[in-house]
Amino acid sequence: MPKPIYVLNGPNLNLLGSREPHIYGTTTLDDVRALCEARAAALGYSVVFRQSNHEGELIDWIQEAREAASALILNPAGYGHTSIAILDALKALSIPIVECHLSNPAAREAFRHKTYVSLAATGVVAGFGAKSYELALEAAAGLLGAADASA
């Protein structure tokens, strides 16, 4: 089996299902984990699924992914708009990076329209609620398949 796809989640995503459900829906982070595990398995992958409210811990996991992951899916949450340190960690990766958002940041407040993560991401999936994660997994698997085909 190939290396797992890392699915990392930033601050406040532990509150999914109860925090601003009019924006983020009522799906919990545990529900998202189950969706990711099922979709990844169908695509022939496993996932390492984690969430942290701490920037340094996210950076540690991104650095770990350099060797341990086949691809990275990152929902940076608020850190996407503020963290140059996360951008720097992402730039050290040579694996596909898919930025993932439940909501559509471009349709929200102006400060959410751009993320530092996008500067390092291979692609972005946003605005589809929990389905964004499934689409991100499909994109990552597709990128990995394209890489295998060209090798």
- Residue whose entry in the numeric block shows the structure tokens 């545990």: 30
Question: DSSP letter string over the chain?
Answer: -PPPEEEEE-TTGGGTTTS-HHHH-S--HHHHHHHHHHHHHHTT--EEEEE-S-HHHHHHHHHHHHHH-SEEEEE-GGGGGT-HHHHHHHHT--S-EEEEESS-GGGS-GGGS--SGGGT-SEEEESSTTHHHHHHHHHHHHHHHHHHHH-
Q: Mark whether 133 is an active-site residue.
A: no
pLDDT of residue 15: 86
What would the two tokens of residue 141 be? 């698997």
| Catalytic member of 6, 79, 101, 116 | 101
- Assigned token pair, 100: 């993932």
**What is the spatial distance between Cα 125 and Cα 100, in angstroms, rounded to a whole number?**
5
pLDDT tens, 31-77? 999 999 999 999 999 999 999 999 999 999 999 999 999 999 999 99
Tokens 């995503």 locate to 13
Phi, psi of 2, rounded to the nearest 5 degrees: -70, 170
Sorted by where each starts, the structural domains of the chain and their CATH numbers stand as 5-150 (3.40.50.9100)
24 is catalytic: yes
Catalytic choice (24, 79, 116, 133): 24
Express each pLDDT in 82-132 by its tens digit: 899 999 999 999 999 999 998 766 646 565 557 889 899 999 999 899 999
Q: Are 40 and 33 in contact (CB under 8 A)?
A: no
